[in-house]
Structure 1
Amino acid sequence: MDAAQDIVRRLRLVVGDAAQVALHEPEFQGREKEYVSDCVQSGWVSSVGKYVDRFESMLAEYTGAKRAVAVVNGTAALHISLKLCDVQPGDEVLCPALSFVATANAISYCQAIPHFVDSERYTLGLDPRKLDGYLRKIVTLRNGVAWNRLSRRRIRAVIPMHTLGHPVDLDPLVEVCERFKIALVEDAAESLGTYYKQRHTGTIGRVGALSFNGNKIITTGGGGAILTNDDALADRAKHLTTTAKRAHRWEYVHDEVGFNYRMPNLNAALGCAQLERLPEMRARKRALALQFASAFAGCNDAKFFIEPQFGESNYWLNALLVPGGKVVRDHVLATSHESGLMTRPVWDLLPDLPMYQGHPQMDLTVARSLQKEVINIPSSARLAASAAERQAA
């Protein structure tokens, strides 16, 4: 048995012998049909309705944020979050090279410049200490604004992405932001239900962005949200995402360029039912992670990635670190797919994509190493229940 076959054997100890096992599937076992049907019968299916208000309230309560503003997807949430932090055309925004493309795309929507930074192995996310040393070499502060001495552009914000649901080490990053007068915008698209030192991700920066895509821990079909503890920012987020329309009983007055980004009531109805079950699904996903950790204990060919000690992860997508480079990684991917297990590599690095080649970047040694080692494995919450049932039997 070669290494790839042993990895598949260990995966099967947890996920069972089903012919096909998906990477991550949504689960609808609560009041989804009831709420969606109620929404349809009410006729309020677009961007106004009781479920949108309820969903925002539930999100704020669950995360501990003062306000939540529901939008059409996580990328829209990131886009507006950057605008709330006054990111202007030509500004630079720091973001991890190892991230989903939406992180950089949202920067581009502002006509700003993604500036790519390295990750750390302990979190899979942005490395705040390495970033601090890098910025000390390239930044000049003038009138409370960070300027890149090399490009002569302003560095307006930084976007840490909580990779695969694991929290970035935020306290030292907050110190970096304060030192260099840079806004902190959390990309918490993958980390609903994740905590950093008992604080929910997305609530520590000035603003945070969530995603409720079909493959996330809970889904609204398509959807996202902006989290903030600043009422003025939340009010402005609502205004911008509602085509910047001023309230009036009949007149159409739009006072700036806005965006048609509000979440429809229909999607919010689904989200309310999903949020009711979030604690249970999060618990099962964490239980599944423990089962994988046990299955890979003592394995020399793959290491199961464990949450950092300072946080609690939602384990959105479970991950293996497979040493040996891209050839070994791809052999594991091919072997697992041939056996019916859906696995996938982590994303290509953003500065390697054609539209972001040539953009500013620091040394990316760790991110390049991780990109060749990380394999995502089946992570649906229902797999934990199935594994528990097999163990009981």
Structure 2
Amino acid sequence: MADAALAPILDALQTVLGGERPVALHAPQFEGHEWDYLKDCLDTGWVSTAGGYVERFEQALCEATGIGQAIAVVNGTAALHLACRLAGVAPGDEVLLPSLTFVATANAVSYCGAMPHLVEVSPDTLGVDPAALAAHLEDIAEMRDGVCHNRRSGRPLRALIVMHTFGHPVELDAVAAVCERYRITLIEDAAEALGSRYQERHVGHWGRLGILSFNGNKILTTGGGGAILTNDAQLADRARHLSTTARQPQGWNFFHDELGYNYRLPNINAALGCAQLEQLPERLAAKRALAGRYQAAFRDCPGARMIEEPADSRSNYWLNALCLDSADEALRDALLAACEARGIQARPLWTPMHRLPMYRDCPRMALGVTEDLARRIVCLPSSAHLGVTA
């Protein structure tokens, strides 16, 4: 039965991928000035957290996104952690976030001593569902002295983190309206969404803070790396201070005025990022071309469909995701096994946060859509070079 159901799906995959084997889920590409910039770091000795490439990389990020301030840090998780601290998240708070996300989103909240509060996603965007969130807050939220609280737990609801899953933007205007109504700080987890736009603007403009990731599997990479995005210059200054161990500039003295973190991105990683950013337009075009090939191949495929960009959005299509018609984990796993046997690297969605041992007792709303999607979705090879035809 599974073989018959999988045959048209595997045939459609073959149409897109051809005979190339093995096929990675997402491989990095280095086709620009990477070697030149890295050699410059080695030749000059500027390989650590000081050096001109860090500022150059941050400025290039501002130009690429239209954001006023970018602060480069060691990885996306560090960026999320600092964003939570900058948003005022403190021990005893709750932070709303989707259960359908990579674990770093929830971990960053926990690093602050706060409690993740898990919310539902939309089947159209794979990100936070603003209507479901509004209904949930109507049920559980109350204002006390201008601060939104969870009336069931008594804890402040300090922030909402939305995650732009696979590069597909959430409904940011609707989400921002909910946050404004309840005076909740909006943070955009755009780790997967460099180059994605909502209503013609780059993601990151709706939240008070946003973050990016430049891990080796992202659309651009610095090896490890991330960034905090904000249009608030004071927040940016504080982010730079906290990410450099909160050291005060006092000549040769080592004086630190609060708890800080050694989170700044090294110059050698920033140099790699500068070279990669120069290739962003071509990379985005290749990713969209690959998404178009997948969509054409699966348009009439029985049993499955491709996840496509939501309305009012232009996705970077960081990962192409296949949604099976049947919410059958056994069928999903059979497809994953068949891909592996053919040298095709495919992956399921992340295990939802409410299924993980450290987060299973967190406050949460009904998560039926999250559970359903976790059983249906398979991530397909999405390296940009697959979208480039000879």
| TM-score, length of structure 2 as denominator length | 0.98
Question: Deviation string for 1:299-340 (max 9, x for gaps)?
Answer: 121101110121000000100001221111111111111111
2:156 equivalent in structure 1:
154
Cα distance in 1, alignment partners of residues 278 and 20 from structure 2? 29
Listed as ranges, the matches of 1:166-205 within 5 Å are 166-205=168-207
Question: Deviation string for 1:133-190 (max 9, x for gaps)?
Answer: 1101111111110010100100000000000110000101111001101000000000
1:383 equivalent in structure 2:
386
Classify the secondary structure of the residue corresponding to 2:56.
helix
The answer on whether the counterparts of 2:193 and 2:318 sit within 8 Å (CA) in structure 1 is yes
How far apart are 1:4 and its partner, in Å?
Answer: 1.3
1:360 aligns with 2:363: yes
Question: Deviation string for 1:338-369 (max 9, x for gaps)?
Answer: 11111110001101101111110000010110
Question: Deviation string for 1:61-90 (max 9, x for gaps)?
Answer: 110000000000000000000101100101
Q: Where does the alignment leave 5 or more consecutive residues of structure 1 unmatched?
A: none
The answer on whether the counterparts of 1:5 and 1:335 sit within 8 Å (CA) in structure 2 is no
1:345 aligns with 2:348: yes
1:373 equivalent in structure 2:
376
Listed as ranges, the matches of 1:75-86 within 5 Å are 75-86=77-88
| TM-score, length of structure 1 as denominator length | 0.97
The partner residue of 1:32 within 31, 34, 49 is 34
Cα distance in 1, alignment partners of residues 48 and 128 from structure 2? 37
Listed as ranges, the matches of 1:114-263 within 5 Å are 114-263=116-265
Cα distance in 2, alignment partners of residues 63 and 12 from structure 1? 35
Cα distance in 2, alignment partners of residues 5 and 52 from structure 1? 49
* Identity, % of aligned positions: 53
How far apart are 1:40 and its partner, in Å?
Answer: 1.1
How far apart are 1:205 and its partner, in Å?
Answer: 0.3
The answer on whether the counterparts of 2:72 and 2:265 sit within 8 Å (CA) in structure 1 is yes
How far apart are 1:242 and its partner, in Å?
Answer: 0.2
> 4+ residue stretches of structure 1 with deviation over 3 A?
none
Letter of the structure 2 residue corresponding to residue 74 of structure 1: G
Cα distance in 1, alignment partners of residues 339 and 10 from structure 2? 6
2:15 equivalent in structure 1:
13
Classify the secondary structure of the residue corresponding to 2:256.
coil
Letter of the structure 2 residue corresponding to residue 43 of structure 1: G
1:322 equivalent in structure 2:
324
Question: Deviation string for 1:105-135 (max 9, x for gaps)?
Answer: 0000000000000000000111011000110
Letter of the structure 2 residue corresponding to residue 381 of structure 1: A
Count of residues in correspondence between the two structures: 387
2:271 equivalent in structure 1:
269
Cα distance in 1, alignment partners of residues 34 and 250 from structure 2? 33
